[in-house]
C-alpha cells in the first residue's frame, strides 16, 4: 500500500536485487560486531547511534521462534535493507535485496524465513506495544 499525498503509508518497499549484488562478509561481522542475543534465535548488533537515531543489524537464525520479534512501533519510522533471507509482516514479504520504509508511528510484528540478516535504521528508536 503506497499512497503518496493521499493517505497514510504503512510500508513502502522496493526490490533492489535486479541491479544490486550484496556480498556479506560474515567473518568481519562476527569479529567486529558485539551482539545482544535475545535467546529466541534473534541477535541485535548496534552499529551506530547519534541522539535518538540508531543503526543496527539483526541476525536471525533459520530456526527463529515465531514470536521472536515482539509487536512494536516506530515513532520516527523505520528503514531497513534485507541483506540475507526474507522478512515478512502484516504488510508483505521482503526477500533479500528489499529496502523497506515504514512511516512514523507505524506498527508491525516482523518474522523471518531462513538465516536472515537485516540492516535497520531507526530515526527515533523503537517501542514495544
pLDDT (tens digit per residue) in 40-76: 889 999 999 999 899 999 999 877 666 667 777 888 8
* Residue 45 forms part of a structural domain: yes
* Residue 90 forms part of a structural domain: yes
Q: Which long-range contacts (CB under 8 A, 24 or more apart) does 42-51 make?
A: 42/68, 42/69
For residue 16, the domain's CATH number is 2.60.120.10
* Residue 4 forms part of a structural domain: no
Contacts of 121 by beta carbon, 8 Å cutoff, 6+ apart: 53, 54, 55, 78, 79, 80
* pLDDT score of 104 more than 80: yes
* pLDDT score of 4 more than 70: no
Q: Quickly state the pLDDT bin for 116 (edges 50, 70, 90).
A: very high
Grid cell for residue 26:
560474515
* Residue 6 forms part of a structural domain: no
Per the structure, the complete domain to which residue 54 belongs is given by: 11-128
pTM of the model: 0.82
Tens-digit pLDDT profile for residues 28-38: 998 999 999 98
* Residue 3 forms part of a structural domain: no
* Residue 69 forms part of a structural domain: yes
Structural domain total, the chain: 1
Amino acid at each position: 500500500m503506497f499512497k503518496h499525498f493521499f493517505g497514510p503509508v504503512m510500508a513502502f518497499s522496493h526490490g533492489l536485487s535486479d541491479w544490486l549484488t550484496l556480498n556479506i562478509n560474515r567473518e568481519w561481522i562476527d569479529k567486529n560486531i558485539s551482539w545482544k542475543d535475545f535467546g529466541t534465535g534473534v541477535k541485535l548488533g548496534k552499529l551506530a547511534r547519534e541522539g535518538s537515531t540508531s543503526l543496527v543489524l539483526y541476525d536471525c537464525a533459520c530456526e527463529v521462534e515465531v514470536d521472536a520479534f515482539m509487536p512494536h512501533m516506530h515513532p520516527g519510522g523505520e528503514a531497513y535493507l534485507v541483506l540475507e533471507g526474507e522478512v515478512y509482516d502484516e504488510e508483505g514479504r521482503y526477500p533479500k535485496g528489499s529496502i523497506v520504509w515504514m512511516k512514523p508511528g507505524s506498527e508491525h510484528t516482523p518474522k523471518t524465513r531462513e538465516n536472515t540478516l537485516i540492516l535497520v535504521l531507526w530515526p527515533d528508536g523503537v517501542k514495544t506495544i
